[in-house]
Amino acid sequence: ARDTLPAMLLFVLSTLVVFHFALPAGAAEVAAQGLLWVALVFTALLGLARAWAPERESGALEGLVLAPCDRSAIWLGKVVATFVFLLLAEAVALPAFELFFSGINGPTVAAVLLADVGICTVGTLLAAMASAGRARELLLPLLFLPLAIPIMIGGVGAATADDPARYLGFLALYDFLFAILAWASFEYVVTE
């Protein structure tokens, strides 16, 4: 949706500006990295909340489910679309973070990309589940945020640890396991 990306950009930039003024000068790198990950996860949550809105509002999801194709293709298409929106938001967020906190390094970028895969695979499934409920605006954060905690831990660890490979491996394992689980359960979610 064309209103999703501007909202995501405004949110992540506003959040980083507030964090810039909230942290004292020379604040610990770990604190700044933690705030980056909070901003990125909540920005992703904002995009995920709108991921299924067009289908829900137009009633097109029922047509997609009835189409003679593998239903996991619907999930994969939403994952890719959400991934692109998230990358575009991060293309603005990461340079802003560098400007305000000067803490972007190679492991941080690698962690962001790995985290994006996990956020999109899990978040797309949970957004599809939440979109069917009456309290969908409340349900998605309740389902998603506990599953995003390992992503944030892996991201902060990869950005600040002396050996980021352990945390990057953890993020890759998270992506692999949860992508398989989300792919395998999507058909059940959309048909029930």
**Residue predicted with more confidence, 149 or 68:** 149
Q: Which domain holds residue 143?
A: 4-191
**97-140: per-residue pLDDT in tens?**
998 887 788 999 999 999 999 999 999 999 988 887 777 788 99
Q: Select from 88, 121, 76 the least CA-distant residue to 5.
A: 88
Predicted TM-score (pTM) of this structure: 0.88
Under the banding of pLDDT at 50, 70 and 90, the label for residue 26 is low
**Of 15-24, 81-90, 111-120, 164-173, where does mean pLDDT reach its minimum?**
15-24
The per-residue pLDDT for 189 is 80
String of b and e for 111-128 (b: at least 16 CB within 10 Å)?
bbbbbbbbbbbbbbbbbb
pLDDT at 69 exceeding the cut of 80: no
Overall number of domains in the chain: 1
Tell me if 48 sits within 8 A of 148, measured CB to CB.
no
**Of 40-54, 63-77, 117-131, where does mean pLDDT reach its minimum?**
63-77
Residues 29 and 108: their CA atoms lie apart, in Å, by 12
Under the banding of pLDDT at 50, 70 and 90, the label for residue 68 is confident
The per-residue pLDDT for 21 is 86
> What's the Cα-to-Cα distance from 41 to each of 17, 19, 93, 180, rounded to whole Å?
16, 15, 12, 21
